[in-house]
Amino acid sequence: MKSSNSLPSRVGRNPFVHELKFTLTEKIKIGLMSVTVFPLRLLLVSFLMLLAWPFAFTASLGRSEYVVEPQSWWRRLLDVCLRAIMRAMWFCGGFHWIRVKGQQAAPSEAPILTVAPHSSYFDAIPITMTMCSIVTKLESRSIPVWGTLISYIRPVFVFRSDQDSRRKTVEEIKRRAKSGGEWPQIMIFPEGTCTNRSGLILFKAGAFIPGVPVQPVVLRYPNKLDTVSWTWQGPGAFKILWLTLCQLHNPMEIEYLPIYTPSTEEKENSALFANNVRKLMAKALELPLTDLSFDDRDISLSHGPLCIYNYSILLEFNRLVCRLGLRAGATSKSLEEQVRRARKLQGDGLGLEDFARFLNLPVTDPLAQVHSLFDKHGDGLIDIRLYIIALSTVYQPSKTMETLKLAFKMYESEDNGKVLEEDLASILEMMLGVEEVELSGVFLSLEGSDEGKITYDELHGFIEQHPYFIQDYLDFKNHPRKLCIGRPKSCNGQNHNKDV
């Protein structure tokens, strides 16, 4: 698959991966803190959280979920007490001095605060300091103690069991944002997930659909050892808590940027609005823009013996098929049906109009871009089998053997179920996102197989016996063994043995 010139890729470091490496001195410090300061801090933090519960519970009694009542004197008093308790809790956790730059706008001026980068549950600090509302899943209300504190700030609950949840959430955000400052400000993390702060990923549109002024808020953790980042691949929640409480001091900086008022064009185009705010925040943070989104995490974190090696082009393909609705329509059953139809074509090239008919779609610019990704020879014809392999790869990135099995069904000989070496190379190029795959090492290591031919069972058995199949037996353009000395790294830049 080749990259489209119209969609330049900016991926860089994987934002969903966080590796912690400690020096000997740091290990000794953590060991000493673990038996001295950590137990005391954990006890104090737990006590203060429990202490906050009756205040939040009492202040929430009798409140409507749809109307903001005038704040009575006793509720204002409880609010001050809650803020003080929560600030004391963070202080006991090592966040002694939190630097605040800029000025928080009034709800009537900017009803929505967009906060980034989102990298940790410690990002709750600005929420407890301001008592802004947030957008959260309904299940969080059931969390003991913490659920009561969440309910106190009047969040916008997301009903994930409701298929119409996204529309209802956006409507509720709109209703509150256009209330003229009656409701508390809504603090939204537009990235939609935690990253390692190596760059700003794509923003979700929810905060920008109402088309009202927003105030960007940027967070910084200028600590030398990053113990706060809680990502999809890396230390777990308790390990992050333990390591952070074992630090003498955890610095944090919150900066309120000037209010961003959308233009007429941005009000009509929430994606443009979101991207422009993202650029502004990235500039303030001095971070690069990373063209990944929450929905791309499974692709960038694929695992297994045939995990995606270079995901940049497959991510580009994924965005295009999402725009066309093809990604949402991909199911195991639909893929099987496409495999059956593709097998009948026997590798015949399809032009753009034939490709559109195959997918039962009109010819559009996004479809033409997808078609061009598979036009290997520049003759306007593509092998539909490669498209199906790519679609299966992005649909089920961690079920690589199932994708490989689908591929064999399209390429194998009816007589013996074998696939030619050059066809297998094309399959693996598509699945791994690499170029110029060479399989001589694999076929030399296979005993008793026909020269230049292989069955799915033979390959599957070989891969099961060799867990570092990509590193040890494949050869392709920019393979790690060509670029470094010693044992190569595995997929997406991760070592074979995870540092613990």
Which two tokens mark 465? 């016996």
Peptide bond into 362 cis (omega under 30): no
Average pLDDT for residues 437-445, to the nearest whole number? 82
Instruction: Note the pLDDT of residue 8.
Output: 45
DSSP 438: B
Per the confidence metrics, is the pTM higher than 0.75? yes
Q: Are 246 and 351 part of one and the same domain?
A: no
* pLDDT single digits (tens) 193-229: 999 999 999 999 999 999 999 999 999 999 889 999 9
Q: Are 307 and 203 part of one and the same domain?
A: no
Lowest mean pLDDT: which of 141-155, 332-346, 446-460?
A: 446-460
From 260, 291, 322, give the residue that closes a domain: 291
In contact, 314 and 429? CB cutoff 8 Å: no
Q: How many domains does the chain have?
A: 2
Instruction: Note the pLDDT of residue 486.
Output: 42
* Residue with the larger pLDDT of the pair 453 and 104: 104
Does the pLDDT at position 489 exceed 60?
Answer: no
The answer as to whether 3 is a domain residue is no
Helix (H, G, I), strand (E, B) or coil at 476: coil
Q: Are 364 and 216 part of one and the same domain?
A: no
DSSP strands (E only) in 221-366: 252-256, 349-350
In contact, 389 and 427? CB cutoff 8 Å: yes
The answer as to whether 17 is a domain residue is no
Q: Are 286 and 313 part of one and the same domain?
A: no
Name the nearest CA neighbour of 132 among 124, 121, 144, 140: 124
The parent domain of residue 220 ranges over 24-291
In contact, 301 and 16? CB cutoff 8 Å: yes
Q: Are 284 and 357 part of one and the same domain?
A: no
Between the two ends of the chain, the Cα-to-Cα distance in Å is: 37
Average pLDDT for residues 80-85, to the nearest whole number? 95
In contact, 292 and 15? CB cutoff 8 Å: yes
Spatial separation of the C-alpha atoms in residues 1 and 428, rounded to whole Å: 11
Average pLDDT for residues 275-289, to the nearest whole number? 96
**How many whole angstroms from its chain centre is CA 12?**
14
The answer as to whether 180 is a domain residue is yes
In contact, 247 and 227? CB cutoff 8 Å: yes
Instruction: Note the pLDDT of residue 485.
Output: 41
* pLDDT single digits (tens) 263-276: 999 999 999 999 99
The answer as to whether 351 is a domain residue is yes
Q: Are 276 and 320 part of one and the same domain?
A: no
Q: What percent of the chain has pLDDT over 70?
A: 92
From 258, 291, 324, give the residue that closes a domain: 291
Spatial separation of the C-alpha atoms in residues 372 and 312, rounded to whole Å: 16
Q: Are 322 and 278 part of one and the same domain?
A: no
Q: Are 242 and 313 part of one and the same domain?
A: no
* pLDDT single digits (tens) 169-192: 889 999 999 888 889 999 999 999
The answer as to whether 11 is a domain residue is no
Lowest mean pLDDT: which of 166-175, 248-257, 363-372?
A: 166-175
Q: Are 316 and 215 part of one and the same domain?
A: no
Q: Are 205 and 129 part of one and the same domain?
A: yes
From 257, 291, 325, give the residue that closes a domain: 291
Q: Are 304 and 287 part of one and the same domain?
A: no
Residue reference for tokens 């099995």 = 405
Lowest mean pLDDT: which of 38-47, 273-282, 295-304?
A: 295-304
C-alpha radius of gyration, the chain, whole number: 26
The answer as to whether 499 is a domain residue is no
State which amino acid sits at residue 223.
Answer: N
State which amino acid sits at residue 169.
Answer: T
Spatial separation of the C-alpha atoms in residues 104 and 296, rounded to whole Å: 33
Instruction: Note the pLDDT of residue 105.
Output: 95
Q: Are 313 and 178 part of one and the same domain?
A: no
Average pLDDT for residues 354-371, to the nearest whole number? 92
Q: pLDDT band for position 327 (50/70/90)?
A: confident
The answer as to whether 408 is a domain residue is yes
Q: pLDDT band for position 426 (50/70/90)?
A: very high
**How many whole angstroms from its chain centre is CA 465?**
32
Q: How many CA atoms lie within 13 A of 473 on its CB side?
A: 20
The answer as to whether 16 is a domain residue is no
